[in-house]
Structure formats: C-alpha cells, structure tokens
Amino acid sequence: MSRAKVAIIGSGNIGTDLMIKVIRTSKTLEVAAMAGIDPDSDGLARARRMGVTTTHEGVEGLIGLPCFDDVSVVLDATSAGAHRRNEAALRPYGKRLIDLTPAAIGPYVVPAVNLDRHLDEGNVNMVTCGGQATVPIVAAVSRVAPVAYAEIVASIASRSAGPGTRANIDEFTETTSRALEVVGGARRGKAIIVLNPAEPPVIMRDTVYCLVPECDPAAVAASVKEMVAEVAAYVPGYRLKQEVQFRAVGAGDPLAGLGGEGLLVSVFLEVEGAAHYLPAYAGNLDIMTSAALRVAERTAAR
C-alpha cells in the first residue's frame, strides 16, 4: 500500500523529531519534504542525509518544490506568528494543516479526546505540550463529574525549551487554559508553565487539579487510568506518577470560592520522551510530535 506524503515546516527540534518519528515508526506516512529558513540547521542536514527533499526558503520554497503537489498533509512546527503566515500561503492549495504552534487558527485537537470529531477540518491545532498532557485528564474527570475549575502546572527542563517555546509563553498559557475548557470540559481553566533549570535536566512533570462536586472517587480514578492508557498508546512515556488523590472541599475552604464544595482531584503525571532525536527528558516535545503523528496518520487515512 502506498504511503501518504507529508511535508514538515520547521527544521528545529520539534520538526526534526517529527521527521524521524515518521520515517522510523509510521507505516502509512512518508516525509516528502522539510522546509526551514536556516540553510545550516541540523534538521535540514539530517533530512538530506535521510533522503528527504529540503528547502531553506520556508513555505514559499516548499510550494515551489516539484514534490509539493503530491503532499496531502503539512505539519507546521514553527511559531504562532509564522504559522499564521504559512496558513495564508498554503490556503489556496487545499492541503490539510496540522499546527504544532499555539496559533490556534483551527480547532484544538487532543487525539485521545476529540480527534474523530475533527478529521475533516482543513487546519487543526495541537494546543501545547502541557495541553496534550493534561487536557485528557480533565476530560477523563469531566466524563464522571462536572469540573467547575481545572488548573494545571507543566514543569519542563529549561534545556528542552527552545527559542520557539520561550517566544510563545503567553500563547502557551492562554491556549492551554482555553483548551482545558473547550476540549477538557472544565467550566474555568488555568495553566502555569515552569522552566526548571536543574542539572541534570528533569523529565516533564504535570500536575492537574480539578474541583468537582461530590461524586464516586473510584469512578473518577478508573476514568483517569483508562485515559492514561489511551494516551500512552501513542505516547509510550506517558504515565501516572502515583495514585489519583482526593480531598474534601468544604464551605470554609478557600478553594470553594473557585468551584463550590465537593472534591479536589489531584493527578500527577510524568512524560518521558522516546529519544528518537531529542533527549528522553524532553517529554514536552515528544508528546507534541507523537500526538501530531497520530493526527497525521488518521487524517491521511481519512
């Protein structure tokens, strides 16, 4: 069976890891081209060594390549501002776009939660690394009990936060907070990112807090564990660090002001990268490329 051809825009860490993931692990996709803007980038050099057509002239160079007509899906691993320009340039050509930036032109997609609802969209947004890790947990809780308030803290190694991540910190918090509501089902959402400078670098850790009314804790815990298994099917390093925690929130508790009386559900996660290109501690980048690969495969199959 012939493989669907994809193109990657962005020759940095995320774009390069995504290219290697497609080449090494996908049975349905083929990387036809990689576009960057730095002719000396390691990503473009690796792509050429792996037999992938390259251009250092960005999206315009990609459009001019002979193989561009055969490309069905374009994965954008640049920045929020660059994606807006890339989307406008590619719009006339009818390509399916998968956006790994916080631009959020298209609907948010978290594969374990809502991919099936957006397979026909022309442009889908992969939220953020924190969103891919934590939105599934909020969704898992909300399918058992309504989530009045959800707050997440994503802690990543400072060395795994490249220029693109640092330039998009505001977009990260805004996009992730919104996705907790739109996709996760929380009435209100808040996101915090921590860049940890520790040496040796620490693995990605995520903490999810959900305020819910009184409900069956066993049902919530079971739903969370089921969701963790669903995400781990395409992100093997995604796992619970400990059992789901519950604490009663009464009328005098300060947390009651955020969501009323009930329970505070606390979930502690760890995301280890597959180390295809990036180090294993960079689970924040690996979860983005793994989720995007899942979306690309399902989109191409569609």
Share of the chain above pLDDT 70, in %: 99
The annotation status of 20 as a binding-site residue, yes or no, is no
Residue 167 has pLDDT above 80, yes or no: no
The annotation status of 125 as a binding-site residue, yes or no, is no
The annotation status of 229 as a binding-site residue, yes or no, is no
User: Using 50, 70 and 90 to split pLDDT, how confident is the model at 1?
Assistant: low
The annotation status of 10 as a binding-site residue, yes or no, is no
pLDDT averaged over every residue in the chain? 96
Cα-based distances in Å from 138 to 85, 123, 176: 32, 24, 12
| Total-model pTM | 0.95
Known catalytic residue at 129: yes
The pLDDT tens digits for 29-61 are 999 999 999 999 999 999 999 999 999 999 999
The pLDDT tens digits for 184-227 are 999 999 999 999 999 999 999 999 999 999 999 999 999 999 99
- On whether both 64 and 185 belong to a single domain, the answer is no
Helices (H) and strands (E) in the chain, counts: 11, 12
The pLDDT tens digits for 258-268 are 989 999 999 99
- On whether both 264 and 156 belong to a single domain, the answer is yes
Q: How far is CA 266 from the centre of its chain?
A: 21
Q: What is the pLDDT of residue 75?
A: 98
CATH number of the CATH domain containing 48: 3.40.50.720
Residue 164 has pLDDT above 80, yes or no: no
Distance, CA of 134 to CA of 150 (rounded, Å): 10
- On whether both 158 and 80 belong to a single domain, the answer is no
The annotation status of 86 as a binding-site residue, yes or no, is no
> Which of 67, 129, 210, 215 is labelled catalytic?
129
User: Using 50, 70 and 90 to split pLDDT, how confident is the model at 168?
Assistant: confident
Query: Can you tell me the mean pLDDT for 167-180?
Result: 89
The annotation status of 167 as a binding-site residue, yes or no, is yes
- On whether both 78 and 148 belong to a single domain, the answer is no
Tokens for 14? 């995320």
Q: What is the pLDDT of residue 22?
A: 98
- On whether both 211 and 75 belong to a single domain, the answer is no
The annotation status of 122 as a binding-site residue, yes or no, is no
What residues are paired with 125 via a beta bridge?
99, 108
Tokens for 271? 């995301």
- On whether both 136 and 275 belong to a single domain, the answer is yes
The annotation status of 12 as a binding-site residue, yes or no, is yes
- On whether both 260 and 297 belong to a single domain, the answer is no
Residue at 134: amino acid letter: T
CATH number of the CATH domain containing 273: 3.30.360.10
Residue 162 has pLDDT above 90, yes or no: no
Note whether 282 and 157 are within 8 A (CB): yes
The annotation status of 166 as a binding-site residue, yes or no, is yes
The annotation status of 160 as a binding-site residue, yes or no, is yes
- On whether both 40 and 143 belong to a single domain, the answer is no
- Count of CB atoms situated within 10 Å of the CB of 301: 10
Residue 158 has pLDDT above 90, yes or no: yes
The pLDDT tens digits for 5-16 are 999 999 999 999
Between 40-49, 166-175, 287-296, the lowest mean confidence (pLDDT) is in: 166-175
The annotation status of 161 as a binding-site residue, yes or no, is yes
Residue (of 226, 222, 263) closest to 246 by Cα position: 263
- On whether both 110 and 140 belong to a single domain, the answer is no
Residue 165 has pLDDT above 80, yes or no: no
The pLDDT tens digits for 253-289 are 999 999 899 999 999 999 999 999 999 999 999 999 9
- On whether both 39 and 171 belong to a single domain, the answer is no
- On whether both 100 and 184 belong to a single domain, the answer is no
Residue 300 has pLDDT above 70, yes or no: yes
Query: Can you tell me the mean pLDDT for 282-300?
Result: 96
User: Using 50, 70 and 90 to split pLDDT, how confident is the model at 133?
Assistant: very high
Task: Report the number of distinct structural domains present in the chain.
Answer: 2
Residue 82 has pLDDT above 80, yes or no: yes
User: Using 50, 70 and 90 to split pLDDT, how confident is the model at 169?
Assistant: confident
- On whether both 40 and 157 belong to a single domain, the answer is no
- Domain of 119 in residue numbering reads as 4-126+286-301
